[in-house]
């Protein structure tokens, strides 16, 4: 269980790194609101990582691993959010796998800890999917994309 939790810690740190790369991409294509949204998401992911760090440290030994380099190129405005949705689906699978491991090992404490993440992943996927849909609805309309950029900039 401890090894799997350390793996998830690494995955959460990667998530923060990925969202920061997505932010840089949006900056490079002149979408500061999209970039800002991704920066906020990066902080949320790193907060998740610290929850894992603290839990592991209280119950065992934290083992940090190398963090893979994230991609830095995507296809237009929708690309990063489409990738974010796929990434969140992958993280959901990882969290569900941890829950299964905790159950199989009879580790009720860890299962309880993970319950928050199960709920959080539902929200993460819903949010990413909603934004992907809004981007698709905007299509190639510069005006609609700029409006959406302004809306995304409001996230704090």
pLDDT digits (tens, 9 = 90+) for 18-32: 999 999 999 999 999
| Domains defined along the chain, listed by start | 2-153 (1.20.1260.10)
Residues 117-153 as b or e (16 or more Cβ within 10 Å = b): beebbeebbebbbebbebbeebeeeeeebeebbeebb
- Over residues 48-76, mean pLDDT: 97
Percent of the chain whose predicted confidence (pLDDT) is above 90: 99
- Report the C-alpha gap between 94 and 96 in whole angstroms: 5
* All residues at 6 or more sequence positions from 115 whose CB lies less than 8 Å from its CB, including other chains: none
């923060």: which residue's tokens?
A: 16
pLDDT-based confidence at residue 132 (cuts at 50, 70, 90): very high
Give 99-108 pLDDT, tens digit per residue. Answer: 999 999 999 9
pLDDT of residue 143: 96
pLDDT of residue 92: 98
pLDDT of residue 96: 98
């Amino acid at each position: 269980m401890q090894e799997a939790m350390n793996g998830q810690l690494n995955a959460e740190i990667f998530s923060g790194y990925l969202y920061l790369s997505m932010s840089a991409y949006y900056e490079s294509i002149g979408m500061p609101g999209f970039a800002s949204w991704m920066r906020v998401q990066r902080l949320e992911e790193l907060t998740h990582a610290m929850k894992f760090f603290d839990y592991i440290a209280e119950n065992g030994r934290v083992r940090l691993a190398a963090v893979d380099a994230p991609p830095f190129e995507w296809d237009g405005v929708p690309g990063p959010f489409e990738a974010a949705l796929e990434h969140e689906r992958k993280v959901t699978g990882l969290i569900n796998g941890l829950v299964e491991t905790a159950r199989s090992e009879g580790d009720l404490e860890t299962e309880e800890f993970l319950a928050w993440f199960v709920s959080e992943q539902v929200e993460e996927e819903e949010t990413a999917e909603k934004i992907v849909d809004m981007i698709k609805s905007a299509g190639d309309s510069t005006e609609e994309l700029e409006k959406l950029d302004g809306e995304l900039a409001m996230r704090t």
